[in-house]
Amino acid sequence: MKTKKKINSNNLLIMITIIMFIVMYAIGCFVYAGKGFAHVQTFLNLFITNAGLICVACGMTCVMLTGGIDISVGSLIAMDCMILAHGMGVQGWPCIPTIILILVIGVIFGLVQGFLIGYLNIQPFITTMAGMFFARGMTAVICTDQLSITQEQNALFYSWANAKIYLPAFLGYTNNKGKVMTPYVRPTVIIALLVVVVIFIVLKYTKFGRSIYAVGGNETSATMMGLNVKRTKLFAYILSSFLCSIGGICYCLNTMSGSVQQAKGFEMDAIASSVIGGTRLTGGVVNVIGSRFGVMINGTINTLVTTNGKLLSSWANIATAALLCFFIILQSVFAYFKNRNN
């Protein structure tokens, strides 16, 4: 009976997140009906623009589950984009080896960070902060200009970026020129959704996922249970950086460019999404599905502000922060009641 109650309080947070997303979107549809907010395409655009963030938030969720944090993700994405843009655009490398290179770099990056955090017991914040400096600096070392990838430079990558996967036509609408617009998604969306499903399964049904939960719940008892805490942490950070590299490729497919200033503040977006999605920051409680909805809420706020057109863009930041505040306080209220019941 008691365990059932505990699960409910965690699920409640995710329920609140999902309901909030639906309400927010409904308000958007109602207020900005004339500006195309109610179209299926607008909804799908949320996925398209945030595909990279969804991947990154999944990795961040795993790391936060162990009670740590990874603030290097934004810079790592910038570095990935720069390597892609410089490698394919300037050096003329072929597409697939470059992408494999990016993924390998992600794993190595995570390996170093995970080793420092897991085996040398250095605070996650400091380690990943150094990683953040390093990746951002390396981006500038590769090239300080803004590079873009054009069709002539790499046709395959370009075709991936512009590929459209059409949904059934009955979801479409007729635009003001009388042309029927069929809603579509980009390949990045498929990648992002695949990542969510895989991570969900890994966390729920594999030994590795279970040990992450155990480490986050209570490190000492996890050690006593015979789990290898150090190795679990190492793998969590490798996973985060690897997913971040996938996110970086998605991001690059969206922007088709690389620059030093890219994806600044991305790590905070990812953390905010995880928190809004119900991740307990002290570790141990998490749901990847919730994180995905956190990203969607973030995206909806941005879309609402840009659709309005008159509001300053800083309102989006303020709204995100207010929401973050609300969810954090909600979490601590729940924790308080839980403690009192016990």
Partner 1 sequence: MKNLKKVTKQQLFLPIFCLFLVLLVNLFKDPSFFGISINNGVLYGRIIDVLNRGSEIAILAVGQTLVVAVSAGTDISVGSVMSLAACGTCMVLAGFGVNTTSTIQVPLIIGILFGVALGGLCGAFNGALVAKLKIQPMVATLILYTAARAIGLLFCNNQITYIRYEPYKYLGNFLPGCPIPTPIFVTIAVIIVVMLFLKKTALGTYIQSVGINSRAAKIAGLNSDMICFMCYLICGICAGMAGMVASSRIYCADSNNIGLNYELDAILAVALGGNSLGGGRFNMTGSIIGAYTIQAITTTLLAMGVSTDQAPVVKAIIVILIVVVQSPVFKSWLGKRQAKRLALSKEAA
Residues that bind partner 1 (CB under 8 A): 69, 116, 119-123, 125-127, 129-134, 136-141, 144, 260, 268, 271-272, 275, 281-282, 312, 314-318, 320-322, 324-325, 328-329, 331-332, 335
CA dist 281 and 80 (Å) reads 28
Find all residues with CB under 8 Å of 284, minimum gap 6, and list them: 65, 67, 213, 216, 217, 218
CB closer to partner 1 out of 171 and 316: 316
CB closer to partner 1 out of 177 and 340: 340
| Residue 324 Cβ vs partner 1, minimum distance, rounded to whole Å | 5
CA dist 211 and 228 (Å) reads 8
First-to-last CA distance in the chain? 13
> What are the angstrom distances between the C-alpha of 175 and each of 41, 168, 172?
12, 17, 9
CB closer to partner 1 out of 184 and 334: 334
Paired tokens of 231: 């190795």
| Residue 334 Cβ vs partner 1, minimum distance, rounded to whole Å | 12
Give all strands (DSSP E) within the chain, no chain letters: 147-148, 165-166, 173-174, 180-181, 184-185, 257-258
CB closer to partner 1 out of 117 and 296: 117
Could you give the angle at the alpha carbon of 217 between the alpha carbons of 213 and 219, nearest 5°? 100
C-beta separation of 218 from 152 below 8 A: no
CB closer to partner 1 out of 4 and 310: 310
CB closer to partner 1 out of 30 and 119: 119
Q: Which residues on neighbouring strands pair with residue 147, listed in sequence order? A: 258
| Residue 59 Cβ vs partner 1, minimum distance, rounded to whole Å | 18
Q: Supply the angle between the helices 207-217 and 229-255 in degrees, to the nearest 10.
A: 110
| Residue 234 Cβ vs partner 1, minimum distance, rounded to whole Å | 14
CB closer to partner 1 out of 125 and 166: 125
| Residue 40 Cβ vs partner 1, minimum distance, rounded to whole Å | 30
Phi, psi for residue 328 in degrees, rounded to 5 = -65, -45
The answer to whether the Cα torsion of 44, 46, 47, 51 is positive or negative is positive
What is residue 165's three-state secondary structure? strand
| Residue 192 Cβ vs partner 1, minimum distance, rounded to whole Å | 23
CB closer to partner 1 out of 99 and 147: 147
| Residue 127 Cβ vs partner 1, minimum distance, rounded to whole Å | 7
| Residue 315 Cβ vs partner 1, minimum distance, rounded to whole Å | 7
